[in-house]
Amino acid sequence: MSSSTPTSVLVLGATGFTGRLITRYLSTHRNLDLGKSVERITVDVTRYKEVERAVRGKGVVINAVGPYWKWGTLVVRACVRNAVHYVDLTAEGVWMKEIIREFDYLATKTHSIIVPACGMDSIPSDLCVYLSNKTLKLHSQDDIPRQQLMESGADYYLSPGPTLSAHKILVGGFFFMQPTNRAVVHRTWGLLELYAREGKNADASMRYGPKFVYDEFLVKPTLGAAIAYVTSLVIGLGLLVFAPPFRWWVKRQMPKSGDGPSEANMETGFLTCTNLTQSSSTPPITVQSSFKGAGDPGYLLTSILISEAALSLILPSPEGTALPYLARCGGVLTPVTAMGDVLVERLRRTGHVEFESTVVTMDKAGRKKYM
């Protein structure tokens, strides 16, 4: 943002397991020289006046206190009223809908940037779609005559004789983060489309287009593995709902507040998010974009994602990047509409995240070829 933007960060929930990881990451960050400037404060997030005193004058608030439906609204209200930016780790779609309804308009007046779901939910999904869209735009075929484009989509267009092709079919099942990720990606599309149609968005090239659809699932290596996964998922959910002893046992196995995996387990974890995007052009262009994260997704990687998201809003943007137009307007936004290329580049520089986005074609044997 502008040079007048405060650069102080307030981490709420810093004594919890994820909160401790966030503060540890920030304390050793290459772009921060905290020295003795770290201040510890006690805030009761159920008391609005305490929250407002804590956030006033800050650059950005990282809220790691959930569940957000219960504890998050007062924090967002204080940030919006005091023109402070905000990021969190929510996966609660109902709560996100409520803060959009209550605070989006006011945030555009105070220029406060409110970005929920800045962890494993839903940065990887949102950024992969964004990168696929950028790659599609770079490989547009608008200069080729339409008739020739239509002919090039015919079967065996370049083949001297008929050849069968076998396309690999992806199989899998329901991904538990799908509802939140899908909702966030759809909001990104809606914001970009709305502002482009109203002529307000200087980044109109970012829009995904009126025919955009999105969904996601958990990929399994074989059909048998997919069936086994879905079957176990249905049985497990059924036991949770209808078998109180099983529900009690599951709760006993869950980490207690403040607990988490060991350092060794966090370091060996990883996350791969792959997006396949196909254009509505004739013939269609297919792009594959991937997000590869090193570290336990739910804890270590999430602490990096939300920290870099917060810093994207208050520190100078990496060379060659700038915050999107919507960030300059404020509002309840998404990782892409608030941070865009700035967040992509900041995550690349951490050494924990790799991005790749490329056009994909299929050879005659049904194998992928990358351009």
**Distance between alpha carbon 274 and the CA centroid of its chain, in Å?**
13
Return d(Cα 132, Cα 126) in angstroms, integer. Answer: 10
Higher pLDDT, 225 or 68: 68
- Point out which residues pair with 114 in neighbouring strands: 86, 332
Q: Give the tens place of pLDDT for each residue, 31-87.
A: 887 766 788 999 999 999 999 999 999 999 999 999 999 999 999 999 999 999 999
Return d(Cα 53, Cα 280) in angstroms, integer. Answer: 51
Q: Give the tens place of pLDDT for each residue, 322-360.
A: 999 999 999 999 999 999 999 999 999 999 999 999 988
pLDDT at 24 (0 to 100)? 94
- Measured N-to-C along each axis, helices 178-197 and 93-110 cross at an angle, to the nearest 10 degrees, of 30
Q: Give the tens place of pLDDT for each residue, 164-197.
A: 554 567 788 888 889 999 999 999 999 999 888 8
pLDDT at 253 (0 to 100)? 77
What mean pLDDT comes out for the span 222-237?
Answer: 86
Residue 78 phi/psi, 5° resolution? -65, -40
Higher pLDDT, 75 or 248: 75
Return d(Cα 115, Cα 280) in angstroms, integer. Answer: 30
pTM for the predicted model, two decimal places = 0.87
- Point out which residues pair with 293 in neighbouring strands: 271, 353
Q: Give the tens place of pLDDT for each residue, 77-130.
A: 999 999 999 999 999 999 999 999 999 999 999 999 999 999 999 999 999 999
Do residues 250 and 240 lie in contact, with contact meaning Cβ atoms separated by under 8 Å? yes
pLDDT tops 60 at residue 288: yes
